[in-house]
């Protein structure tokens, strides 16, 4: 079930069956959709829980809970662009890794957040980062390209937007 408090769910009025179906599909396959580095992190964290007696499937679900939030954006993009949800997920995660978004997300999460306003600021930054990732994924899909190769689509988008990506990378450093 998709929680009613999520921004993506609110944008859909909370009643879109295709949206909910796509989120459910992605949630079930989430560990397999992750890149090698994230998959290794998930495996190591899940192994810790499994060693404590937690069933593997539940352990994977727990350690991918933070990433599960991304399925809402992916389902929204797939519905808007009318592309297969698995393809959108591949592009979404590939872009994130190529552009260093997990690193930036970790930096935002690590910021001090003991006070109410700090927590709100961190939440706003994370929402902005998710919105940016959603927009860029939509741009890659809008460019069209090789439906059989999400990586080729991302590479083509990077080649067409190299200068902008370079400036963004310099700003982040």
- The pTM score is 0.78
Distance of CA 9 to the CA centre of its chain: 15
Tally DSSP H helices, then E strands, for the chain.
Answer: 10, 0
* Helix, strand, coil percentages for the chain (3-state, nearest 5): 80, 0, 20
Confidence (pLDDT) at 92? 93
Q: Encode pLDDT of 69-126 as tens digits.
A: 888 999 999 988 888 888 999 999 999 989 988 889 889 989 998 899 999 999 999 9
Q: Encode pLDDT of 46-73 as tens digits.
A: 999 999 999 998 998 888 887 888 889 9
CA distance 5 to 71: 14
Domain coordinates in residue numbering, the chain: 7-172
Confidence (pLDDT) at 171? 62
Q: Encode pLDDT of 121-143 as tens digits.
A: 999 999 999 999 999 999 999 88
Are 169 and 101 in contact by the 8 Å Cβ rule? The answer is no
| SS3 label, residue 69 | helix
Instruction: State the CB neighbour count (10 A cutoff) for residue 95.
Output: 20
């Amino acid at each position: 079930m998709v929680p009613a408090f999520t921004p993506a769910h609110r944008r859909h009025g909370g009643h879109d069956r295709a949206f909910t179906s796509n989120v459910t599909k992605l949630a079930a396959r989430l560990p397999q959709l992750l890149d090698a580095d994230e998959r290794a992190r998930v495996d190591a964290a899940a192994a810790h829980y499994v060693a404590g007696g937690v069933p593997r499937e539940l352990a994977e679900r727990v350690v991918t809970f933070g990433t599960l939030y991304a399925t809402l954006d992916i389902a929204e993009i797939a519905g808007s662009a009318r592309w297969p949800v698995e393809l959108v997920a591949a592009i979404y995660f590939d872009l994130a890794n190529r552009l260093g978004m997990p690193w930036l997300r970790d930096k935002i999460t690590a910021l001090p957040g003991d006070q109410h306003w700090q927590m709100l600021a961190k939440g706003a930054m994370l929402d902005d980062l998710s919105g940016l990732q959603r927009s860029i994924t939509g741009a890659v899909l809008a460019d069209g390209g090789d439906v059989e190769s999400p990586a080729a689509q991302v590479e083509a988008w990077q080649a067409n937007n190299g200068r902008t990506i370079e400036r963004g990378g310099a700003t982040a450093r």
